[in-house]
Amino acid sequence: MNLHHDIPSLRHALRGRGRIAFVPTMGNLHEGHIALMRAAREHADTVVASIFVNRLQFGPGEDFDRYPRTLQADSEKLAAAGVDALFAPTESDLYPEPQGYFVEPPDLQHLLEGEFRPGHFRGVATVVLKLFNCVQPQVALFGKKDYQQLMLIRAMTRQLALPIEIVGVDTVRAEDGLALSSRNAYLSPKERQEAPRLIETLRALRGRLLAEGITRREILEQEAVETLDKRGWKTDYIAVRQQADLLPPQEEGRKLVIVAASRLGQTRLIDNLEV
């Protein structure tokens, strides 16, 4: 596997490569990322990954500084997974001058995650478009754990007519159900034991929603928040939304997803469950 830090060297290496599948990441890779790399291989002969902790998508007081940076271990995992090229730019490689142009996503950016992380999706969309321009893939893969991110990237790709197919890949979970995430590394052993409660709470909510119907949605959401918060979590939201647009469902029969974000100690975990 070749490692490229700057855009010219990456572009030179990828010239004439045919179909490219691209997996952007922020590193500290786990089995969820490796599943993305394997899925990428099914879509193209050349698989490119990127590792870049993108300052633009972190708000003040968020974990940009302490986000785990583990390039050596990550490179070994990617090489073992058969990735062809790794693009790992420094900040000055990707942002050689202050980034003054941004991708401003539509109103969906202000809901749910966006309400608690203002500007987050603007930073994500901007870096993803820039990475797309660097790699110029035909297909790009993203985890479904970041459900809203995946929706916004699909919409950006469609609305800006980017010639890239966006593929969503199922969340990989630990045996006890916890969704794999680089941020799980922040959990203390005690918090790690507690962490699967998030998905368990979403599963219980799904069961009750199916039994009681969407008219009970708001009560069930509130009860799910209370279930977690009584155990010491600080929940930002647990919301039943339409898969199509992440808006609250107005009628029965819509495809739904339950999305959630909650803090356990210093760690903010997100997860979702399609209904």
Residue partners of 15: CB distance under 8 A and separation at least 6? none
Q: How far is the CB of 37 from ligand PAF (least distance, A)?
A: 13
Q: Is 33 a catalytic residue?
A: yes
| Least gap, CB of 53 to ligand PAF (angstroms) | 8
Q: How far is the CB of 57 from ligand PAF (least distance, A)?
A: 6
- State the catalytic residue, choosing from 5, 12, 30, 33: 33
Q: Does 146 bind ligand PAF (CB under 6 A)?
A: yes
Query: How far apart, in whole angstroms, are the C-alpha atoms of residue 200 and residue 98?
Result: 43
With CB under 6 A as the contact rule, the residue among 25, 75, 235, 262 that binds ligand PAF is 25
User: Which of these ranges, 75-83, 94-102, 124-132, 166-174, lies near ligand PAF under the rule CB under 6 A?
Assistant: 124-132
**29 touching ligand PAF, by CB under 6 A:** no
Considering only 20, 44, 47, 124, the residue that binds ligand PAF (CB under 6 A) is: 124
Residue 249 in the binding site for ligand PAF (CB under 6 A): no
| Tokens coding 170 | 């199922």
Assess contact for 240 and 221: CB atoms under 8 A: yes
Q: How many residues of this chain interact with ligand PAF, rule: CB under 6 A?
A: 10
Residues annotated as part of the active site? 33
Q: Which residues bind ligand PAF (CB under 6 A)?
A: 24-26, 54, 57, 124, 127-128, 146, 149
